[in-house]
Structure 1
Amino acid sequence: MYFTLLSAVALASRACAFPAQPEARAAAAGVQFVGVNIAGFDFGCSIQGACDVTRISPPLSNLGGADGVGQMQHFYKDDGMNIFRLPVGWQYLVNNKLGGTLDSGNFGRYDQLMQACLKTGAYCMVDIHNYARWNGQIIGQGGPPNTQFANLWSQIATKYASQQKIIFGVVNEPHDVPDIDKWADTVQEVVTAIRAVAKTQMIALPGNDWTSAKMMPTKSGPALLKVKNPNGTYDGLIIDVHKYLDSDNSGTHTECVTDNIGDTFQPLATWLKDNNRKAILSETGGGNTDSCKKYMCQQLDFLNQNSDVFLGYIGWSAGSFSSSTYELSEVPTKNGNSWVDSALVKACFTKKK
């Protein structure tokens, strides 16, 4: 979500045996993946990919932060969720050393959250929350060369090569990228680097326009369709999309005005079917209001009805956000030994049986 991390800063200061995308199932069974984002390691990152690592807020109670571990355990056990996306800033992982190796301390703290996620039994998505940038400069287009970004991913993939339930999310919300074909080349280098060490996990491919689900079929999609595995297949390569429901699709308002079906998810479903591809909605959210409960449930019902092309959806956001002040809070509150879900999560984010 393209304005969320600015809000977060304020809140915090203020097949070859690839497991391919899971096989299509009957629409009535619903999507395979339902979950939420567990934010905090991305706090301090702006939409220009500049991350102030002093402003992160690790969602780990043992580090003095929110109880992201307890949140995930609750979502998995009580709500049937089975996927969590774990955003983190590129600068944090390498301790501000562009082109450097993973910082053992910082990566170790992020890995605590990852291991807690895996321990639930859920799938866990790595999300480099940098908007296709490092400090304002676009990767492969005037900024860091593709080789540096691919090297970052090679290191991450090496760490998690044996973990089949980890999904590699290339980068969060590229926007205003001048050349979409060059961006596809960047994504290709990342895929090639990951596949050199991690042969089977899913990789989520982001497009331009804030990873727009609406724009994917006509703008980013045709270029991303060319990205393939080193063996020439497309197994395990899924299209990453985002979509919000407020008046300007910014994810900054508590009221929702659309279910996004007619102008976004129906055309996207048709495009995915025509191209034999699958997508995951890795960010969507709304306020804990009647309008958002209405439209969000309708949107997610459509995805469940089209589970042959939509693998799942991940709400934004839980983790280190404030359950009382953040507009799109999906943070559950603890009441004794139990957790109480936000109104939107309770109404719409449930796993179909």
Structure 2
Amino acid sequence: MLVKSLFIGLLAPGAAAKVWLAGFDFGCGNTEGIYTASGVTVPLLSHGGADGAGQMSHFVNNDGLNVFRLPVCWQYLVGNTLGATLDATNFGIYDQLVQACLSTGAYCVVDIHNYARWNNQIIGQSGGAVTNNQFASVWYQIAAKYAGSSKVIFGVMNEPHDLDITTWATSVQWAVTSIRNAGATSQMVLLPGTSYTSVGGFISDGSASALSAVKNPDGSTTNLIFDVHQYLDSDGSGTSTQCTTNGVSNLSTLATWLRSNGRQAFLTETGGGSTSSCYTDLCAELDWMNYNADVYLGWIGWAAGSFATSYALSETPTYANGVWTDTGIVTNCVAGKF
């Protein structure tokens, strides 16, 4: 799986469209949650990076998108000290991106991008090296900062994998309880399963069943939304510019389960190259989702932010002479697809 950074999209009545804003997550450039501080590429002009604020403004004002996923490494937020309080400098920089997102009027997904790990140690597993309490602590602090922001969505964790799903559901419960106890009682919380939270495996790998046990402190499941991902290339990895499926079969299977169980999901990662095969398949996937908005709250396209326009699945617009120009996949399948 690729390391993610910035998605942009929509959250509205009916299916929502979104985009990833990458950069802060580049410090966890692997699927084991191993941190390299020098890898962080802040997507803000004021910090020498891409113009993430400008990109988001363009996506909202010119393309009608209304949700951005803002991934960040756990280690970055706490100064690379497990169990520590939020690092004032690093969190302050990350918050500049969040505030730039909020200023557009869009929803903003705060996403810890560690694959359920801290330096290859699984949260709540791996012999207790990384505890549920430490995980809950960082979420309590983040939620306390944004408890008054109704358009902040909490993405508990990006793409957990190769772990015990029942034990992981307990870790997710710790995070949810902390978020709610910090005062963020009504915002959406995204619950990720295992197997890189793949749509196709969400039922069969036990994620749907295990995460159904996660509750708010009042015993409800209000605004506890399943977090799923899907790519359309031949192996589902999101590494090829060519699409070979529209993914509707996987989405439909999960939709049936969601309706039967009174739950909803959010496709927080999908995408494709600026190629004819992806113009066909990604557009078909997103069109299907618009007709199934009762169970799918929306989708987020991968990815913009600090990604170069040469990146295979780039949704990063270019800017020249006061004009933003979208990539082919955004123009054909993302902008206005809701």
TM-score using structure 1 length: 0.91
SS of alignment partner, residue 172 of structure 2? helix
Q: Pick from 233, 240, 262: which aligns with 1:253?
A: 240
1:316 to 292, 298, 302: 302
**Structure 2: unaligned runs, 5 residues or longer:** 6-10
1:343 aligned to which of 325, 328, 331: 328
For residue 89 of structure 1, what is the aligned residue in structure 2? 73
Residue by residue over 1:308-352, the C-alpha shift from the partner in whole angstroms, topping out at 9 and shown as x without a partner, is 1000000000000001x2111000011211111110011111345
- Residue in structure 1 matched with residue 273 of structure 2 by the alignment: 287
SS in 1 for 2:20: strand
Corresponding position: 1:121 with 2:105: yes
Among 193, 209, 214, which residue is 1:227 paired with? 214
Deviations 1:249-301 (A, max 9, x none): 11111111000112x10101101101111111101111111111110000111
- Distance in 1 between the 2:185 and 2:118 partners? 27
1:50 CA displacement: 0.5
Conservation of the 8 A alpha-carbon contact between 1:269 and 1:309: yes
The CA RMSD over aligned residues, in Å, is: 1.3
Q: Identify which of 10, 17, 35 aligns with 1:34.
A: 17
Match of 2:62 in 1: 78
Q: Distance in 2 between matches of 1:103 and 1:284?
A: 31
How far apart, in 2, do the equivalents of 1:351 and 1:166 lie? 22
Structure 2 residue matching 1:4: 3-state secondary structure: coil
2:225 is the counterpart of 1:238: yes
Aligned counterpart, 1:182: 167
Q: What residue number does 2:145 align with?
A: 159
Residue 209 of structure 1, aligned match among 195, 206, 209: 195
Q: Is 2:123 the partner of 1:145?
A: no
Residue identity in the other structure for 1:271: W
Deviations 1:156-208 (A, max 9, x none): 0001010000000000000101x211110000010000000211110000000
Look up the equivalent residue of 2:18 and give its one-letter code: G
**Larger displacement relative to structure 2 (182-191 or 343-352):** 343-352
Distance in 2 separating the partners of 1:211 and 1:200 = 24
In structure 1, C-alpha distance between the alignment counterparts of 2:142 and 2:27, rounded to whole Å: 21
1:328-339 matched pairs, under 5 angstroms: 328-339=313-324
CA distance in 2, matches of 1:289, 1:296: 10
Letter in 1 for 2:3: T
**What amino acid is the match of 2:116?**
A
- CA–CA distance in structure 1, aligned partners of residues 209 and 119 of structure 2: 28
SS of 1:65's partner is coil
Within the alignment, does 1:65 sit opposite 2:49 as a pair?
A: yes
CA deviation digits over 1:135-159, x for unaligned, max 9?
0010000240100000000000001
CA distance in 2, matches of 1:298, 1:58: 33
Distance in 1 (alpha carbons) for counterparts of 2:290 and 2:301:
15
2:2 is matched with which residue? 3
Which stretch of structure 1 is more off in the superposition, 90-99 or 216-225?
216-225
Q: Is the 8 A contact 1:122 1:165 kept in 2?
A: yes
**2:19 corresponds to which letter in structure 1?**
V
- Judge conservation of contact 1:4–1:251 (CA < 8 Å) in 2: no
Deviation string for 1:16-52 (max 9, x for gaps)?
Answer: xxxxxx99x6xxxx41x21100000000312100111
The DSSP-based 3-state class of the residue aligned with 2:235 is: coil
* Structure 1: gaps of 5 or more residues: 9-21
By how many angstroms is 1:93 displaced? Answer: 0.4
How far the C-alpha of 1:53 sits from its partner, in A, is: 1.4
- Does the aligned pair in 2 maintain the 1:49–1:131 contact within 8 Å? yes
Distance of 1:245 and 1:352 partners within structure 2: 17
**Across the two proteins, how many residue pairs are aligned to each other?**
328
Aligned equivalent of 2:157, options 128, 153, 171? 171
d(CA) in 2 for partners of 1:268, 1:341 = 32
Q: Secondary structure at the match of 1:223?
A: helix
Q: Which residue identity is paired with 1:71? A: Q
Shift of 1:3: 2.4
Q: Distance in 2 between matches of 1:123 and 1:169?
A: 12
What's the TM-score, normalizing by structure 2?
0.95
1:242 to partner: Cα distance:
0.4
Q: Percent identity?
A: 55
Distance in 2 (alpha carbons) for counterparts of 1:83 and 1:345: 15
Deviation at 1:4, TM superposition (A): 3.4
CA distance in 1, matches of 2:272, 2:124: 33
